[in-house]
Copies of this chain bind each other. A is one copy, B any other.
Amino acid sequence: MSLPHAILTALLEKPSSGLELTRRFDKSIGFFWSATHQQIYRELARLEDAELIRAVPQPPSRGQRKEYEVLPDGRAELRRWVAAGQDPRPVRDPLMVRVRAASVVGTEGLAAELHRHLGLHRAQLEEYRAIEERDFPVEGAADEDRLLHGVLRAGIAQESFWVGWLAQMLDELPPEEGE
């Protein structure tokens, strides 16, 4: 259950409304924990219920912005969670299943799909690299920055791996018609 804690983190970085959060997720935390706006609204309501966050006083009504901020209990809960243990979640990679299936029923149509993924991962890699240049231009920063940079480096390494792996697989794959 990481979503509530991802939201607490985002709100500590900057108090926001549901929609703002959704947008910030799309280009930072969401790289590692994606969430739709409904998930976020639901979770904000739960966190407010649990009194870990609160909406800054405003006339509450539907369709009206509600700005949330983290309460002391929320910060404490996040601190507790950072130290808590949690096993890595089991891997679930449809592409690997697909390749395995192809080894049984034939590789027809597989190359195109690998190609498409290659493009997607290349694009993501570019995006990460751009963020790195923008946010971490020099080495030797503060502890806080080193952690954030570390997370970004993980993303870059993962995407680099996929780009390399997909290229190699496409190389080894018997060519298809219409390529």
Contact = CB atoms under 8 A, between A and B. Distances in A.
A85 B117 CA distance: 9
Interface in A17-50: 29-34
A9 B97 contact: yes
A179 to B, nearest CB: 14
Tallying the copies of this chain within the complex gives 2
A129 interface: no
Nearest to A142: B103
B107 A79 contact: no
Contact of A2 (B83, B94, B144): B94
Interface string A85-119: 11111111111111111111111111011001100
Interface string A138-179: 000001111110110111011001000100110010100000
A153 B172 contact: no
A13 to B, nearest CB: 6
22 contacts: A2-B94, A6-B100, A13-B104, A29-B100, A31-B91, A32-B91, A34-B91, A78-B101, A81-B98, A82-B105, A82-B108, A83-B113, A85-B113, A87-B120, A89-B94, A91-B158, A96-B154, A99-B150, A100-B151, A104-B144, A107-B147, A143-B174
